[in-house]
């Protein structure tokens, strides 16, 4: 059935011939120029559901994908996060499935078996995509289920037993449920692989292929990826039929991404960073802010320090249980906290609007990571500010990033918390100190957001008072975090993790951050590994 990867390529410029990419961020047409969803042939019930959510007109990638996808064609969409690609594949997917409210539902071969499958790399992206599809399909009664690790199996199994039209899931939990025969993929007629390059980076591609092989032979397949490395192209050749390749970005999109954002690159002293961040967070017009760190331990320490300084902060990293991670994300989206500290891996898939500032607490490892981080702000034509801290030891690393992206910061500016350019460049009041004045502490804080009981064990959970985080042990292990020189432990059933107070830090392992590898029985015996000089010693997650 596979005719290979040899389809037509459509670029952004071919669709919007009258739009100058340099004149508008992301070349997004004005509201009057963009087509409505009704004009694109979307089901009236879906149009109505989107209108209730305030979504009236299509973004460029939606305008390009919908006519083709609604006709049942296979698609490869190349677009960065935040361009609206979820509805680009979600609307055609919803239009294809038959819901219990539709005529002909009972006439299906297996009513209630999933008809569409969306595979994503991370839990956070899984939650986001499922939420968007639930909104768009709400008026038609389409049942959407998010399936990912960190949650108890029973509710997911029960939902599948009662019947589901669309499953959105991470590879590990999907395979577990399929192996236990709770998940039947034989009726899947629409398959979506979202952020395929991220799944490749995280080592999930073999799992993805196992899942694809269980779906219906005749199906529509849509693949979305920011980049197209060779292994992704090979995947398309094996499982897609003459796909149309759609590019919703300009050829020099990497430069366009950062050109739309006000950037500052500073050489900083590690001991002065907390003071410097505290002042940046008092800049005029600052809204939601994401701070990126390299390790889990640093993320928790920075979050705790900011809380002690009066800021409403939360953190997302691999040492936290799924309930605590979702608590922090909900609090951030709801505005109960306005500062989210995250590791790179844990932040994959987080799509939050109105982020005004991004702070790279440590220099990114490469240009791709830099773009991923700063791209969290300045979305959909909005302005954004990105500040990058570069330690002396990371100067060479930064210079490579700077040269690759063609930036104008070959030598980071020597910066301290009392440097004049910090105040003038970011609009920080000269009276600002290292603590947020009590009169400005108006956010409810992380403790105001409930921690949902997900039936998980062995991961650190948070419960806390206003604006802060406190710790409580969870079954299977305990966890503590401290400042430099302390220790951190997290225990889960069958394994443990320890970190010492060494100065060297290793990046967070992808498998632990996602927590979504298939069950131990399907992966063979696990081995405990120790990284010398690292503050994150881990065993592969089961």
Where would I find the beta strands (DSSP E) of 239-337? Answer: 244-247, 262-267, 288-293, 313-316
| DSSP letter (8 states) at residue 507 | P
Residues 294 and 439 sit within 8 Å (Cβ to Cβ):
no
User: pLDDT value at position 416?
Assistant: 96
Return all residues near 22 (Cβ < 8 A) that are at least 6 apart: none
Give the β-pairing of 244-247 and 75-78: parallel
- Phi/psi at 53 (5° precision): -90, 5
Instruction: Give the integer Cα–Cα distance in Å for 184 and 33.
Output: 43
Cα angle value 68/73/75 (rounded, 5°): 80
Residues 475 and 458 sit within 8 Å (Cβ to Cβ):
yes
Where would I find the beta strands (DSSP E) of 135-195? Answer: 144-147, 166-169, 190-193
Instruction: Give the integer Cα–Cα distance in Å for 449 and 100.
Output: 34
Tokens of residue 440, six digits: 């400005």
Chain CA centroid to CA 423, Å: 31
Read out DSSP for 109-124?
A: SSTTS--EEEE-SSHH
Tokens of residue 123, six digits: 């839990």
Return all residues near 424 (Cβ < 8 A) that are at least 6 apart: none
Q: Which residues pair with 245 in a beta bridge?
A: 9, 76
Coil, helix or strand for 499?
Answer: strand
Nearest to 221 by CA among 204, 247, 239: 239
Q: What is the C-alpha radius of gyration for the chain, rounded to an integer number of angstroms?
A: 23
Return all residues near 33 (Cβ < 8 A) that are at least 6 apart: 19
Coil, helix or strand for 385?
Answer: strand
Instruction: Give the integer Cα–Cα distance in Å for 309 and 300.
Output: 14
| DSSP letter (8 states) at residue 452 | P
Coil, helix or strand for 474?
Answer: strand
Give residue for tokens 């992704």. 232
User: pTM score, two decimals?
Assistant: 0.68
Tokens of residue 31, six digits: 């509201």
Tokens of residue 525, six digits: 């015996």
Q: Which residues pair with 222 in a beta bridge?
A: 75, 192
- 378's torsion region: left (phi>0), alpha (psi -120 to 50) or beta? left
Give residue for tokens 């539709």. 102
Nearest to 218 by CA among 325, 340, 115: 115
Cα angle value 364/434/448 (rounded, 5°): 80
Nearest to 58 by CA among 21, 92, 86, 84: 84
Q: Which helix (H) or strand (E) holds 409?
A: none
Instruction: Give the integer Cα–Cα distance in Å for 228 and 245.
Output: 11
User: pLDDT value at position 450?
Assistant: 84
CB atoms within 10 A of CB 183: 25
Domains delineated in the chain: 9-13+60-93+111-132+145-247 (3.40.50.300), 253-447 (3.40.50.300)
Residues 159 and 527 sit within 8 Å (Cβ to Cβ):
no
Residues 469 and 481 sit within 8 Å (Cβ to Cβ):
no
Tens-of-pLDDT digits for all 542 residues of the chain?
Answer: 444 554 554 443 333 322 233 323 333 444 557 899 999 999 999 999 999 999 999 988 899 999 999 999 999 998 766 678 899 999 999 999 999 999 989 989 899 999 999 999 988 899 999 999 999 999 999 999 999 998 899 999 999 999 999 999 999 999 999 999 999 999 999 999 999 988 988 889 999 999 999 999 999 999 998 888 889 999 999 999 999 999 875 544 555 556 678 999 999 999 999 999 999 999 999 999 999 999 999 999 999 999 999 999 999 998 988 889 989 999 999 999 999 999 987 666 677 888 999 999 999 999 988 988 998 887 766 789 999 999 999 999 999 999 999 999 999 999 999 999 999 999 999 999 999 999 999 999 998 988 877 665 445 555 444 444 433 333 334 344 444 444 444 444 444 444 444 434 444 444 434 545 555 444 444 444 444 444 443 333 33
Instruction: Give the integer Cα–Cα distance in Å for 11 and 393.
Output: 41
């Amino acid at each position: 059935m596979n005719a290979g990867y040899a389809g037509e390529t459509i670029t952004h410029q071919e669709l919007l011939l009258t739009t100058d990419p340099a004149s508008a961020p992301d070349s997004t047409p004005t509201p009057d120029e963009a087509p409505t969803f009704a004009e694109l042939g979307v089901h009236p019930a879906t149009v109505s559901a989107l209108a209730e959510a305030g979504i009236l007109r299509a973004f460029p990638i939606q305008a390009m994908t919908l006519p083709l996808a609604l006709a049942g064609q296979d698609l490869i969409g190349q677009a960065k996060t935040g361009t609206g690609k979820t509805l680009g594949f979600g609307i055609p997917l919803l239009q294809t499935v038959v819901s219990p409210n539709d005529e002909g539902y009972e006439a299906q071969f297996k009513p209630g078996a999933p008809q569409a499958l969306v595979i994503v790399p991370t839990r956070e992206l899984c939650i986001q995509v499922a939420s968007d599809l639930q909104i768009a399909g709400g008026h038609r009664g389409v049942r959407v289920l998010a399936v990912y690790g960190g949650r108890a199996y029973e509710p997911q199994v029960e939902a599948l037993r009662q019947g589901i039209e669309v499953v959105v899931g991470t590879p590990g939990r999907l395979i577990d449920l399929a192996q236990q025969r709770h998940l039947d993929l034989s009726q899947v007629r629409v398959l979506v692989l979202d952020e395929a390059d991220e799944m490749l980076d995280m080592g999930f591609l073999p799992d993805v292929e196992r899942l694809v092989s269980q779906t219906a032979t005749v199906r529509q397949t849509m693949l979305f990826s920011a980049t197209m490395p060779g292994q992704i192209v090979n995947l398309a050749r094996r499982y897609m039929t003459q796909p149309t390749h759609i590019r919703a970005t300009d050829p020099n999109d990497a430069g366009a991404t950062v050109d739309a954002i006000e950037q500052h690159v500073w050489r900083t002293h590690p001991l002065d960073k907390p003071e410097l961040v505290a002042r940046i967070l008092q800049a005029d017009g600052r809204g939601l802010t994401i701070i990126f760190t390299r390790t889990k331990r640093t993320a928790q320490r920075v979050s705790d320090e900011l809380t002690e300084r009066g800021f409403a902060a939360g953190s997302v990293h691999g040492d936290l249980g799924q309930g605590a991670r979702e608590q922090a994300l909900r609090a951030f989206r709801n505005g109960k906290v306005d500062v989210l500290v995250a590791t790179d891996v844990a932040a994959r898939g987080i799509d939050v609007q109105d982020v005004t500032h991004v702070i790279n607490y440590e220099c990114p490892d490469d240009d791709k990571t830099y773009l991923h981080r700063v791209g969290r702000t300045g979305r959909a034509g909005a302005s954004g500010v990105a500040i990058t801290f570069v330690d002396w030891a990371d100067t060479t690393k930064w210079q490579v990033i700077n040269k690759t992206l063609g930036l104008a910061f070959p030598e980071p500016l020597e910066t301290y918390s009392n440097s004049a350019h910090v105040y003038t460049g970011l609009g920080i009041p000269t009276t600002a100190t290292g603590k947020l004045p009590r009169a400005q502490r108006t956010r409810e804080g992380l403790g105001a957001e409930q921690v949902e009981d997900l039936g998980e064990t062995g991961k650190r959970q948070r419960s806390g008072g206003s604006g802060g985080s406190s710790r409580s042990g969870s079954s299977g292990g305990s966890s503590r975090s401290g400042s430099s020189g302390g220790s951190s432990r997290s225990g889960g059933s069958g394994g443990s993790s320890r970190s010492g107070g060494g100065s060297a830090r290793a990046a967070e392992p992808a498998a632990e951050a996602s927590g979504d590898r298939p069950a131990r029985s399907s992966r063979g015996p696990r081995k405990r590994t120790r990284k010398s000089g690292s503050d994150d010693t881990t065993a592969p997650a089961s």
